[in-house]
C-alpha cells in the first residue's frame, strides 16, 4: 500500500496526513475548504499544533503530501471529519455520511476504508457499511472497513499519533487486520484489533470517564462554595490515596471530544445512562456558576470593566470548539452593565464573532481579570502585569496563576470563601 487519501484536514486529519507522509506514503488530503487546500499546497497550515508547521512544510516540499478538494483513487481511505451534535444533543453524522459517499466513485476492490471520526455505537455497521453496499461493494470481501478512533492530546498530537495504543475495530476480522497493519507502519505502541462497535464504544467511554470525573470535581466546587471549603486542597489531599485520582475543576468542559462524545452513548441508551447525562448537565452548568460569581464580585460597581483572558477549551492551543469560555463571554456581553475586553494570544480574530484585544487594552482600567484558559502566557504573569488595573482582582477559574501578592487579589474557582465584592 503506497497511497492514502485522507478526507478532512482538521485537527486530526492534517497531523495524520503529515505523519503518514513522513513514513513514506503518498498522501492526498481532501478538504471542502479551498483556503485550507491552497495553504497546505504552499506548505502552510491553518491550525496550531506543536511541530506541525515544520513537518507539513517538509513533506509538502518532498512531494509526499498534497491537498485537493476532491478525493482520488488510493489504497487506503481515512475519514477524519467532525461529528458535532444537533440542538437535540443527538449526533450529527452528516459529515461522515458525506465523506463516505464522496469516496465511493474512487473505491476499488481490495481498498481499506477507515473512519477515524468519533461516532455513536453501531455507526459503522448501520450507516457506513450500507452506503458502500448500496454502491455495489461487498463489505465482507470487496472492501475492508474499519473504525480507528483518534486518541490524541492537542499540543502532543505528533507524539501521540506514534506512541499511543490504537484500537482498530473491523466490520470483519480481516478488515480489522488490514486496517491495523496500516497503523503498524507508523505506530510504536500497541495496535489492538477488535470489532467495530467495540472500538466505537471504547473511544466514547474514554472521554465519558473523564467527563464524569470532571463533573465530580465541579460538583465539589459548588459544595465547597456553600460550605466554605478549599476544593483544590481537598482534591490535592484526596489524590494522595493510591487509588484516587479526582480530576481538576474548571469553568466547564469543551473541545470536540469530552463535551460531545458522552451524548453519543446517551442517544443510544437513554434510560441506561442517567449518570452520564447528569455529568453532562453538571459540566454544562459551570459557565453559569462562573458568571454568577462574577456578578457577585462586581455587584457594587456601576460599570465594571472585565478583562477576559483565554477562549480555548484548554491551554496552549487555538481550538475554541465547544469552549465554555465562549458561552461565558456571550453571557457577560449580554449584561449591559459589563464592559468586556477579551485577550487570547492563541486565537485569531476570524475564529470568533466579537472583537479581540491586546493584553494592554484588556487590562488597562479593568476592575477584574477573569482567566478562562490555562495558557502558559497566563501562568507567568507577575504583580506588575496587573499594575494598570483599576482594582487588581483576578478570578482564576483554571487554577493556573500562582501569584503571591499583597497588591493583587487572586480568587480561585475552587476556593471562593474569600470572595468579597470589589470596591472602587
- In this prediction, residue 382 carries a pLDDT of 95
Q: What is the pLDDT of residues 50-62, one digit of tens each?
A: 999 999 999 999 9
Across 308-312, average pLDDT = 97
Q: What is the pLDDT of residues 132-169, one digit of tens each?
A: 999 999 999 999 999 999 888 888 999 999 999 999 99
**pLDDT more than 70, % of the chain:** 100
Work out whether strand 3-7 and strand 76-79 pair parallel, antiparallel, or are unpaired. Answer: parallel
Q: How many C-beta atoms lie closer than 10 Å to residue 29's C-beta?
A: 28
**pLDDT more than 90, % of the chain:** 93
- In this prediction, residue 417 carries a pLDDT of 83
- In this prediction, residue 102 carries a pLDDT of 98
User: Is 203 considered catalytic here?
Assistant: yes
Q: What is the pLDDT of residues 330-373, one digit of tens each?
A: 999 999 999 999 999 999 999 999 999 999 999 999 999 999 99
Is the pLDDT confidence value at 83 over 90? yes
Q: What is the pLDDT of residues 262-302, one digit of tens each?
A: 999 999 999 999 999 999 999 999 999 999 999 999 999 99
322 with 260: CB under 8 angstroms? yes
Selected catalytic residue, list 5, 64, 203, 268: 203
- In this prediction, residue 307 carries a pLDDT of 98
User: Which of the 8 DSSP states describes residue 185?
Assistant: T
Selected catalytic residue, list 5, 148, 257, 400: 257
Beta-carbon contacts of residue 225 (< 8 Å; ≥ 6 apart): 416, 417
Is the pLDDT confidence value at 418 over 80? no
* Euclidean distance between CA atoms 199 and 329, whole angstroms: 37
Is the pLDDT confidence value at 419 over 90? no
Is the pLDDT confidence value at 1 over 80? no
- In this prediction, residue 369 carries a pLDDT of 98
Domains belonging to the chain, first-starting first, are: 3-194 (3.40.50.720), 203-284 (1.10.1040.10), 286-412 (3.40.50.720)
C-alpha cell at 112: 481499506
Amino acid at each position: 500500500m503506497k497511497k492514502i487519501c485522507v478526507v478532512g484536514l482538521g485537527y486530526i486529519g492534517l497531523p495524520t496526513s503529515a505523519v503518514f507522509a513522513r513514513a513514506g506514503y503518498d498522501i492526498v488530503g481532501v478538504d471542502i475548504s479551498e483556503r485550507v487546500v491552497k495553504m497546505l499546497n504552499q506548505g502552510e497550515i491553518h491550525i496550531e499544533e506543536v511541530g506541525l508547521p515544520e513537518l507539513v512544510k517538509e513533506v509538502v516540499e518532498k512531494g509526499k503530501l498534497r491537498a485537493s478538494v476532491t478525493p482520488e483513487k488510493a489504497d487506503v481511505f481515512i475519514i477524519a471529519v467532525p461529528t458535532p451534535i444537533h440542538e437535540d444533543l443527538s449526533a450529527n453524522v452528516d459529515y461522515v455520511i458525506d465523506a463516505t459517499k464522496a469516496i465511493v466513485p474512487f473505491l476499488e476492490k481490495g481498498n481499506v476504508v477507515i473512519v477515524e471520526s468519533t461516532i455513536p455505537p453501531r455507526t459503522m455497521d448501520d450507516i457506513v457499511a450500507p452506503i458502500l453496499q448500496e454502491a455495489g461493494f461487498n463489505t465482507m470481501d470487496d472492501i475492508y472497513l474499519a473504525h480507528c478512533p483518534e486518541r490524541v492530546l492537542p499540543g502532543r498530537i505528533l507524539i501521540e499519533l506514534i506512541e499511543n495504543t490504537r484500537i482498530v475495530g473491523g466490520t470483519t476480522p480481516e478488515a480489522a487486520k488490514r486496517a491495523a497493519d496500516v497503523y503498524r507502519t507508523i505506530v510504536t505502541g500497541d495496535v489492538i484489533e477488535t470489532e467495530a462497535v467495540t472500538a466505537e464504544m471504547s473511544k466514547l467511554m474514554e472521554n465519558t470517564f473523564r467527563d464524569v470525573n470532571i463533573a465530580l470535581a465541579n460538583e465539589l466546587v459548588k459544595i465547597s462554595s456553600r460550605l466554605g471549603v478549599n476544593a483544590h486542597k481537598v482534591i490535592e489531599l484526596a489524590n494522595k490515596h493510591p487509588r484516587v485520582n479526582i480530576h481538576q475543576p474548571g469553568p466547564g468542559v469543551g473541545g470536540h471530544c469530552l463535551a460531545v462524545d458522552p451524548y453519543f452513548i446517551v442517544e443510544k441508551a437513554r434510560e441506561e445512562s442517567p449518570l452520564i447525562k447528569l455529568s453532562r448537565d453538571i459540566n454544562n452548568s459551570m459557565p453559569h456558576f462562573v458568571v454568577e460569581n462574577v456578578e457577585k464580585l462586581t455587584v457594587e460597581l456601576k460599570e465594571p470593566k472585565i478583562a477576559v483572558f483565554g477562549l480555548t477549551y484548554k491551554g496552549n492551543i487555538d481550538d475554541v470548539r465547544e469552549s465554555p469560555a465562549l458561552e461565558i463571554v456571550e453571557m457577560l456581553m449580554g449584561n449591559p452593565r459589563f464592559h468586556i475586553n477579551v485577550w487570547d494570544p492563541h486565537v485569531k480574530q476570524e475564529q470568533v464573532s466579537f472583537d479581540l484585544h491586546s493584553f494592554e487594552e484588556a487590562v488597562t482600567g479593568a476592575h477584574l481579570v477573569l482567566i478562562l484558559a490555562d495558557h502558559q502566557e497566563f501562568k507567568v504573569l507577575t504583580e506588575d502585569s496587573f499594575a494598570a488595573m483599576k482594582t487588581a482582582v483576578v478570578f482564576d477559574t483554571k487554577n493556573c496563576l500562582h501569584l503571591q501578592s499583597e497588591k493583587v487579589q487572586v480568587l480561585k474557582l475552587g476556593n471562593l470563601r474569600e470572595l468579597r465584592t470589589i470596591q472602587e
